[in-house]
Chain A
């Protein structure tokens, strides 16, 4: 099992550019989520999904879109990158919110 994979590992964008952060899991988990982590801060929930075709907003959803067309994949789209979106992004998956979350290795994003 690869677990939770994220691509790319690093990305530099210019303000206004768009991009998609990829996340995939091979554990047949229903629950997937995206977090951002800023220095000295905890993990803030961006969006989450409780199953294919179902997504919902977390604490900080503005500027991000998600979709969940399959159980395995949960991409995060930045619509028009801003310097405030410079952060480390983690994708996580679990059987349900009440179960252990498995985190991917993260994507370090810099927006200039």
Chain B
């Protein structure tokens, strides 16, 4: 079936260090979305990537979509304690099919 693999599962960093999480699919994606879930909270949408090779930035966050549209990454520069949470990617294979497939998430902890 269609699966989105996300690594790493956990990442512990010192405040100020960089952080990256990766999502990979065995088949081509149509779109990929990224969400953040704070501890005890609900997922909140960050961004959607649609085009092959697309790069989008939100302040210290950089999102990339691979040329083959099979992988994506989220990079945080100079982490802060407010970045703590679990980051999920959600792959959409067919925008007419009505389903998205979530990765298992990467949980980021930041030591002050």
Interface residues of A (CB under 8 A from B): 31, 35, 40-45, 48, 50, 56, 58-59, 90, 92, 96-106
Contacts and interface: CB of A to CB of B under 8 A. Distances in A.
Interface stretch (B53-61, B67-75, B77-85, B91-99): B91-99
A111 B93 CA distance: 34
A48 B92 CA distance: 14
Contacts of A99: 48
A32 to B, nearest CB: 10
Interface size class of B (residues with CB under 8 A): 20 to 34
Nearest to B86: A42
Contacts of B95: 96-98
B98 A31 contact: yes
Interface in B1-57: 6, 9, 30-31, 33, 35, 41-45, 48
